[in-house]
Structure 1
């Protein structure tokens, strides 16, 4: 599902637009997020779309409640976060399990390939196991050609199958992150 349109930044990899297209065509109305460079393209596209609402969070666990609340209100929602935020969500993930909500999240990984910030490594190593311990299905894409099919599979499992699913986008896929002096 490689999408292109005149208002898409051509310097962005096609898989970033694929993610937005899957959310848009899947009827997602709310996208909750803590600002993250790895999700910036999707976030910008959501805010530019009059049929979607970007919900800026102060902490990731608010996103779990936002996504569940959207479902209760009759809307589909997705949570975008970085792997470092998964630790903040562990207790809130019990809301999904106890209430049986469908849940969909896309998580950009840190603490892996070419990581420069040692503070990212512990949670990066624990992300997948922590999510799985909470009963949530984890899918992972590490190559651009796998992103669309992986995100679509997770999206369908969540919203057609009623599952809780997190899709991890590997750090090699996202690219090397570096501090920028201002």
Structure 2
């Protein structure tokens, strides 16, 4: 009977015996979970999820802005010193003028190859004529839905595949570390 008791004492297992994984085991768990997360995000990217919001131009809707023409009045040059020690940078802008209900307004716009006296298409807010934007309807290019889809597919494919590949590698490496520790 004593021999049986001694044998039982030799095989006592602590409740916390499996928790003592050490740094290798903890690192394996972290790598494995990171790999699973990367695989998840890679699959989401391949299905079309966008991780960054679309960057779009903030152009007011056409509901109440009125079209008109402004006149290029004066070329304005601004010189700024170069911080790298090179030549000064020159920015060219134009002062444009337009009249709404007998009141004259002037604004500064970037140079787009204008000459003095050129008429520039703008749209202004009738409630606040100081608010305006350049009307570039002529330069707009219609993009078909197929082109948009092709562009989105190009954007999401490399990230999705790369995330899945790295996730699989990290998952395998983490699993090997865990198995080796156990």
TM-score (norm 2): 0.18
TM-score (norm 1): 0.18
Larger RCO: Structure 1 or Structure 2 (Cα < 8 Å, ≥ 6 residues apart)?
2
